[in-house]
């Protein structure tokens, strides 16, 4: 049976999604839980390979399982084996052709900035503490420029495994909520560090428009820290 798993996790103590020898990763703890629950499983795939420190509210994985609990009990069973900072929030039977990564139509991320002059222990590792003034209308105007099809190589590390740098942005905006300023973006897919580099560049006050024609990484701004970033939705 092919199963679609929706996961949320606090990325603080994980070295990202992808399994790495000797490192604690989300994939590693999920693999361990799958082994505890199912006699046989295979073909684990994920929609978003989040980096070290990045959180997820609704990342999606697909896996082929045999034996084990009925589908309505899979989430509960896996959660008995997963650590406290990761959980399967939903499990559902999927079509045989479903693939968490390749079937995805879009992914949505949110980047949170804590703007208060006073740091918050509750926002520590949940947002980027940035107590200096930010021009929100200018930031939002920059976000609107991102919508459409562009070459984003200025917003990913120079040393990269990507061959294609063009991505299609469906929507991008900044949202104010008290002391939190959030950047929300939806695209077909993302380059490594792309959202964080976009945030850092906009916060640095650099004009993003000329960079969308495939300019080098050195012309863009800083890469915002990972702990403000959340994968919030994968659409199929």
Angle (deg, nearest 10), helices 26-37 and 71-81: 120
pLDDT at 160 over 80: no
Torsion angle of the four alpha carbons 216, 201, 124, 15, in this order, in degrees rounded to the nearest 10: -20
Q: Which candidate, 134, 185, 112, places its Cα nearest to that of 155?
A: 185
Strand partners, 180: 114, 177
Task: Report, in angstroms and rounded to the nearest whole number, the Rg of the chain calculated over CA atoms.
Answer: 19
pLDDT at 163 over 90: no
pLDDT at 209 over 80: yes
Q: Is there a catalytic annotation at residue 51?
A: yes
Give the per-residue pLDDT at 101: 97
Q: What is the pTM of this model?
A: 0.95
Q: How confident is the model at residue 210 (pLDDT cuts 50, 70, 90)?
A: very high
pLDDT at 161 over 80: no
User: At 87, phi and psi to the nearest 5?
Assistant: -155, 145
Which of 51, 85, 151, 188 is the catalytic position? 51
């Amino acid at each position: 049976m092919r199963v679609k798993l929706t996961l949320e996790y606090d990325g603080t103590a994980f070295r990202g999604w992808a399994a790495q020898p000797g490192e604690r990763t989300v994939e590693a703890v999920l693999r361990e839980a799958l082994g505890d629950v199912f006699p046989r499983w295979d073909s684990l795939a994920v929609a978003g390979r989040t980096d070290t420190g990045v959180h997820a509210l609704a990342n999606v994985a697909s896996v082929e399982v045999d034996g084990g609990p009925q589908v309505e009990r899979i989430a509960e069973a896996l959660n008995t084996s997963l650590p406290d900072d990761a959980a399967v929030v939903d499990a559902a039977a999927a079509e045989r052709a479903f693939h968490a990564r390749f079937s995805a139509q879009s992914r949505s991320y949110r980047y949170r900035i804590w703007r208060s002059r006073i740091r918050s222990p509750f926002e520590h590792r949940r947002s980027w503490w940035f107590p200096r003034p930010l021009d929100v209308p200018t930031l939002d105007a920059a976000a609107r420029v991102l919508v459409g099809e562009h070459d984003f190589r200025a917003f990913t590390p120079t040393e990269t495994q990507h061959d294609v740098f063009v991505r299609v942005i469906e929507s991008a905006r900044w949202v104010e909520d008290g002391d939190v300023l959030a950047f929300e973006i939806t695209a077909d897919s993302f380059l490594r560090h792309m959202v964080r580099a976009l945030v850092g560049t906009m916060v640095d006050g650099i004009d993003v428009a000329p960079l969308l024609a495939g300019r080098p990484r050195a012309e863009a701004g800083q890469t915002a820290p990972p702990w403000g970033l959340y994968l919030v939705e994968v659409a199929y």
